[in-house]
Amino acid sequence: MTAREIVPGVFSVGAIDWDRRLFDELIPLPQGTSYNAYLVKGEEKTALIDTVDPAKEYELISNLCRMGIERIDYVVINHAEQDHAGSLPMILEFFPDAVIVTNEKCKDLLIALLHVPAEKFRVIRDREKISLGKRTLQFIITPWTHWPETQLTFLEEDRILFPCDLFGSHIATSDLFMSDERTTYVAAKRYYAEIMMPFRTSIRGYVGTVRGLNPAIIAPSHGPLYKNPSFILDAYADWTSDTVKNEVVLPYVSMHGSTLKMVDYFTDALIARGIAVKPFNLSKTDTGELAMAMVDAATVVIATPTVLFGPHPLVVYATYLANLLRPKVRYASVIGSYGWGGKASETVVKMLDHVKVEVLEPVMVRGLSDETALRGLDRLADEILKKHQELNLV
């Protein structure tokens, strides 16, 4: 990606990764991604804010060379993860006099992950400022805007916030600024679900912190920049709130059709009661879609057949992920089938130990559902309706 000017003297110098389809060998990237890095020129000093994934380090160096940058005084590292910090060793080879500016925790991680020499750092504290000459960088330490060492950088005079992962989206686009609100909203919500949702309560506080800075531009390190910061701040305020929606997320697997019959019946039963339902066949779905659905649903019902004595491994995987992502769902249950016994529903419920949910009585059926089994699903649908009514969602 060629370097582009954001405002005079401030440039986007990172790289677009059009082809990447998996992040952390875990997160699907259907639209690719970008690793945004920024160059800020003051009257006296020049700062690079974050770097790029090592796979794209030559694009970053090439951008800086083509801009004629001969000196970088500071390399601000907002986050130690390699997609932003991984090109730091290469930057230090090209700009050996550059000083790395970051917080103590990030320094510690950069030394561990990248073997950066300790003497290269200038450690900053929360709200500390560095002058570039008529331009000032302020650092706000915000743990858990992905990792424990994360921080934000605010360019005060231009009111540009560089929040690294926070407010990002995995989209490869040639648009520097958001151009399509709907596409960006969906990508940002998916990104929030996959990366930020486990830290929802901390991030809710940071939304207020950022509003207090009154940024004119938010420039994250993935996806397009926001000229209208309230677009993404309002979205985050909604996603991180305690408000849930009248929705049931229904991840399922079926091997021979018994569980699928229950899923189909249960889906219709919920629709008939005015409850939105989102079924996900775990043998086909993209886990990012499932994560996104859990951002604001009130209830999750996991449907599983029994493999030997426990849940299907795809259900185990999805439940493990859901437990890590800690969605704000209020209620959970399990439905499914078994042949000769097992503890599939108990195993699934035990796996949800990080999610603060009320467990509604599961419906596990031997073999193919009969009328009694279907009445059990009606009972569960009625209970969900009652719970949603108590929350004034229906």
Give contact residues for ligand FEO (rule: CB under 6 A).
79, 81, 83-84, 146, 165, 222
| C-beta closer to ligand FEO: residue 84 or 330 | 84
| C-beta closer to ligand FEO: residue 83 or 158 | 83
| C-beta closer to ligand FEO: residue 148 or 341 | 148
**Torsion sign over Cα 300, 304, 309, 310:** negative
**CB of 35: closest distance to ligand FEO in angstroms?**
7
Q: Are 51 and 38 in contact, with CB atoms under 8 Å apart?
A: no
| C-beta closer to ligand FEO: residue 84 or 273 | 84
**CB of 222: closest distance to ligand FEO in angstroms?**
6
Q: Are 160 and 39 in contact, with CB atoms under 8 Å apart?
A: no
| C-beta closer to ligand FEO: residue 80 or 249 | 80
**CB of 148: closest distance to ligand FEO in angstroms?**
11
| C-beta closer to ligand FEO: residue 20 or 312 | 20
**CB of 138: closest distance to ligand FEO in angstroms?**
21
Q: Are 126 and 139 in contact, with CB atoms under 8 Å apart?
A: yes
Query: Which 3-state string (H, E, C) describes the chain?
Result: CCCEEEECCEEECCEEECCCCEECCCEECCCCEEECCEEEECCCCEEEECCCCHHHHHHHHHHHHHCCCCCCCEEECCCCCHHHHCCHHHHHHHCCCCEEEECHHHHHHHHHHHCCCHHHEEECCCCCEEECCCCEEEEEECCCCCCCCCEEEEECCCCEEECCCCCCCCCCCCCCECCCHHHHHHHHHHHHHHHHHHHHHHHHHHHHHHHHHCCCEECCCCCCEECCHHHHHHHHHHHHCCCCEEEEEEEECCCCCHHHHHHHHHHHHHHHCCCEEEEEECCCCCHHHHHHHCCCEEEEEEEECEECCEECHHHHHHHHHHHHHCCCCCEEEEEEEECCCCCHHHHHHHHCCCCCCEECCCEEEECCCCHHHHHHHHHHHHHHHHHHHHCCCC
**CB of 144: closest distance to ligand FEO in angstroms?**
11
| C-beta closer to ligand FEO: residue 59 or 81 | 81
**CB of 116: closest distance to ligand FEO in angstroms?**
17
**CB of 165: closest distance to ligand FEO in angstroms?**
4
**CB of 381: closest distance to ligand FEO in angstroms?**
39
| C-beta closer to ligand FEO: residue 56 or 79 | 79
| C-beta closer to ligand FEO: residue 75 or 269 | 75
**CB of 84: closest distance to ligand FEO in angstroms?**
6
Beta bridge pairs of residue 299: 248, 331
